[in-house]
């Protein structure tokens, strides 16, 4: 393991141990759940959406280290973003975890998930909270499940 992947590993471990924005969000006006039965990850994502902008985001639930760290980092990166910006960020993140390549600079700490591309089953873990968050942001309220096509 080279130095950079050790650093990335540390980012994931840190967010797994101390997830950011973990817990219910009383002022949320959008909520969606995500379920990844193949691993047992299940999360609820809470959004406070005002004029198409994500003012606050939080999550709770339980899952493996990858899913929890990805959800935690997602909440940090979505704070203050518009729904369109959130969709773009997810496209970049999805590209990263499926190919291992970051094609944009603004993924910052999320680049820690590049290694997920070597473990296809883990892609579902890494993207679960994103699916839930985008469902919540779109207002569809659908339950996100990794068992359906993206």
* Of the candidate residues 39, 79, 102, 123, the single one contacting Zn ion (CB under 5 A): 39
Contact segment (CB under 5 A) with Zn ion among 12-20, 48-56, 60-68, 109-117 equals 60-68
Closest separation in Å from C-beta 149 to Zn ion: 19
Closest separation in Å from C-beta 43 to Zn ion: 10
**Contact between 125 and Zn ion per CB under 5 A:** yes
**Contact between 67 and Zn ion per CB under 5 A:** yes
User: What DSSP character marks residue 20?
Assistant: T
14-145-149-56 Cα dihedral, nearest 10 degrees:
-60
Sheet with 53-62: list strands edge to edge. Answer: 53-62, 41-50, 30-36, 144-145
Between CA 141 and CA 20 the distance in angstroms is 23
* Of the candidate residues 8, 33, 41, 44, the single one contacting Zn ion (CB under 5 A): 41
Contact 44, 60 (CB under 8 A): yes
Closest separation in Å from C-beta 93 to Zn ion: 16
Nearest to 141 by CA among 47, 61, 27: 47
Contact segment (CB under 5 A) with Zn ion among 23-31, 72-80, 83-91, 120-128 equals 120-128
Contact segment (CB under 5 A) with Zn ion among 1-9, 62-70, 79-87, 91-99 equals 62-70
Measured from the CB atom, is 54 or 70 closer to Zn ion? 70
Contact 96, 79 (CB under 8 A): no
Whole-Å CA distances, 113 to 30, 61, 65, 104, 109: 27, 20, 12, 14, 8
* Of the candidate residues 14, 48, 55, 64, the single one contacting Zn ion (CB under 5 A): 64
* Site of interaction with Zn ion (CB under 5 A): 39, 41, 64, 67, 125
């Amino acid at each position: 393991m080279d130095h950079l992947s050790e650093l990335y590993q540390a980012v994931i471990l840190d967010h797994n141990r101390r997830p950011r924005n973990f817990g219910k969000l009383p002022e949320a006006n959008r909520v969606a759940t995500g379920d990844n039965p193949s691993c047992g990850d299940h999360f609820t994502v809470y959004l406070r959406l005002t004029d198409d902008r994500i003012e606050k985001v939080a999550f709770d639930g339980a899952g493996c280290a990858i899913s929890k760290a990805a959800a935690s980092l997602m909440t940090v990166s979505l704070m203050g973003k518009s729904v369109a910006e959130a969709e773009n960020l997810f496209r970049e993140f999805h590209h990263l975890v499926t190919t291992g390549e970051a094609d944009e600079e603004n993924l910052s700490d999320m680049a820690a998930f590049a290694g997920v591309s070597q473990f296809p089953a883990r892609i579902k873990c890494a993207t679960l909270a994103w699916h839930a968050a985008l469902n919540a942001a779109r207002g569809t309220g659908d339950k996100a499940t990794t068992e359906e096509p993206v």
